[in-house]
C-alpha cells in the first residue's frame, strides 16, 4: 500500500493484483477496459485489467491485493462492497486514515506486518485466504525469492516431476494466472521495493533480472503507467508499506 500525489501524464497500466484506489481529497476517475469510466472515492480494478487513472494534483492511496493469496469469492465480494462506498461511512473513514493501523506512522518494504491486522483495520475483517496446491505455493515462492533469476515453466515442472503442460494447467487452476504473467508481474512488482534504493536504474534493472534498461523501462511503464525514473521521482518520500500474505496450503497425498 502506498499514498502519493498523482502526476499529470499517467499512461495506461496493467497491474497483477486487485487494485484499490482511494481518493484522499476527492473522488478519483479510472478508465477501465470493459467497464468504461468509473468515478468514486474508492475505485477498484481487477488484476491484469488494463486501466488508466485520471491525473490531477491530488493524493491517492493505492492498495494492492494479489489474487493468488485471496479467494476469488472474497475478492469479488470486497470489490463489490468497496465500489459502493459513499461518504459518510465508517468503512470509508478507515480507508481514508493514514494507514488504518493504530500506532503505525511509517514502514518500509523491509518491515512487513501482519496481514490480518491490516485487513481488519482497512476493511473491517480478515480476507479469506486462497487454497493452493503445495507445489504451486512452492513455485510462487521460487519466483518471489529468485525474482532476478530466469525461472521457467520447465524448471518448475522438473522440480515436481511433471510435464510442463500439466504444471501450466495446475498453476492456472490454483492461482487464476498464467505462470508467465505471474513471473513478469512479480519482477515488475519488485521494483516497488527498490524505489528508495541508492542504486542507479541500470543497476536496479540488472538486480531484477531484466536483460537491459530498455526491457526494464518498457515493463515498468506498461505495468504502472510511468517510466522508472518518473515513477521513482513521484513516489520518493511517499508512505509505503508492504505486507506478505500467505495462502492456505493443500497438502498432496503421499
pLDDT in tens, 204-229: 999 999 999 999 999 999 999 989 99
Q: pLDDT category, 131, cuts 50, 70, 90?
A: very high
Task: Tell whether the model's pLDDT for residue 7 goes beyond 80.
Answer: no
More confident residue, 121 or 208: 208
pTM for the model: 0.88
User: 161: burial class by Cβ within 10 Å (0-12, 13-18, 19+)?
Assistant: exposed
- Pick the closest to residue 70 from 48, 93, 47 (CA basis): 47
Q: Can you tell me the distance from the alpha carbon of 75 to that of 69, in angstroms, rounded to the nearest whole number?
A: 10
So what's the pLDDT on residue 202?
93
Q: For the chain, where do the domains classified as CATH 1.10.10.60 start and end?
A: 131-235
- Pick the closest to residue 129 from 111, 143, 115, 109 (CA basis): 115
User: What's the whole-number mean pLDDT along residues 161-168?
Assistant: 95
So what's the pLDDT on residue 212?
92
Q: Can you tell me the distance from the alpha carbon of 46 to that of 66, in angstroms, rounded to the nearest whole number?
A: 10
Q: Can you tell me the distance from the alpha carbon of 196 to that of 193, in angstroms, rounded to the nearest whole number?
A: 8
What percentage of the chain exceeds 70 in pLDDT? 84
Q: pLDDT category, 239, cuts 50, 70, 90?
A: low
CA 145 from chain centre, in angstroms, equals: 16
Helix (H, G, I), strand (E, B) or coil at 28: strand
Under the phi-then-psi rule, with left for phi > 0, alpha for psi from -120 to 50, and beta for the rest, what region is 3?
Answer: beta
98-127: burial string, b at 16+ Cβ within 10 Å, e else: ebbbeebeebebeeeeebeebbbbbbeeeb
The CATH number assigned to the domain with range 2-123 reads: 2.60.120.10
So what's the pLDDT on residue 110?
46
So what's the pLDDT on residue 240?
60
So what's the pLDDT on residue 164?
96
- Count each helix (H run) and each strand (E run) in the chain, helices first: 10, 10
Q: For the chain, where do the domains classified as CATH 2.60.120.10 start and end?
A: 2-123
Q: Which CATH number fits domain 131-235: 1.10.10.60, 3.20.20.20, 3.30.420.40, 2.40.50.140?
A: 1.10.10.60
Q: Can you tell me the distance from the alpha carbon of 139 to that of 137, in angstroms, rounded to the nearest whole number?
A: 5
Q: pLDDT category, 112, cuts 50, 70, 90?
A: low
So what's the pLDDT on residue 55?
62
Amino acid at each position: 500500500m502506498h499514498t502519493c500525489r498523482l502526476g499529470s501524464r499517467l499512461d495506461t497500466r496493467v497491474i497483477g493484483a486487485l487494485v484499490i484506489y482511494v481518493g484522499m481529497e476527492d473522488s478519483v476517475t479510472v478508465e477501465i477496459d470493459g467497464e468504461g469510466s468509473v468515478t468514486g472515492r474508492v475505485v477498484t480494478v481487477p488484476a491484469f485489467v488494463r486501466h488508466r487513472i485520471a491525473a490531477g494534483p491530488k493524493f491517492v492511496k493505492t492498495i494492492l491485493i494479489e489474487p493468488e493469496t485471496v479467494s476469488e469469492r472474497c475478492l469479488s465480494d470486497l470489490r463489490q462492497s468497496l465500489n459502493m462506498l459513499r461518504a459518510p461511512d465508517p468503512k470509508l473513514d478507515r480507508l481514508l486514515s493514514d494507514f488504518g493501523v493504530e500506532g503505525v506512522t511509517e514502514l518500509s518494504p523491509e518491515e512487513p506486518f501482519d496481514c490480518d491486522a491490516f485487513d481488519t483495520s482497512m476493511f473491517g475483517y480478515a480476507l479469506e485466504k486462497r487454497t493452493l496446491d503445495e507445489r504451486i505455493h512452492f513455485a510462487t515462492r521460487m519466483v518471489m525469492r529468485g525474482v532476478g533469476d530466469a525461472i521457467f515453466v520447465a524448471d518448475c515442472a522438473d522440480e515436481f516431476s511433471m510435464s510442463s503442460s500439466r504444471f501450466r494447467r495446475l498453476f492456472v487452476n490454483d492461482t487464476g494466472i498464467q505462470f508467465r504473467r505471474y513471473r513478469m508481474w512479480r519482477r515488475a512488482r519488485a521494483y516497488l521495493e527498490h524505489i528508495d534504493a541508492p542504486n542507479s536504474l541500470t543497476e536496479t534493472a540488472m538486480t531484477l533480472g531484466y536483460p537491459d534498461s530498455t526491457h526494464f523501462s518498457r515493463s515498468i511503464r506498461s505495468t504502472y503507467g510511468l517510466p522508472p525514473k518518473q515513477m521513482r521521482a513521484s513516489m520518493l518520500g511517499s508512505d509505503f508499506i508492504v505486507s506478505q500474505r500467505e495462502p492456505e496450503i493443500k497438502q498432496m497425498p503421499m
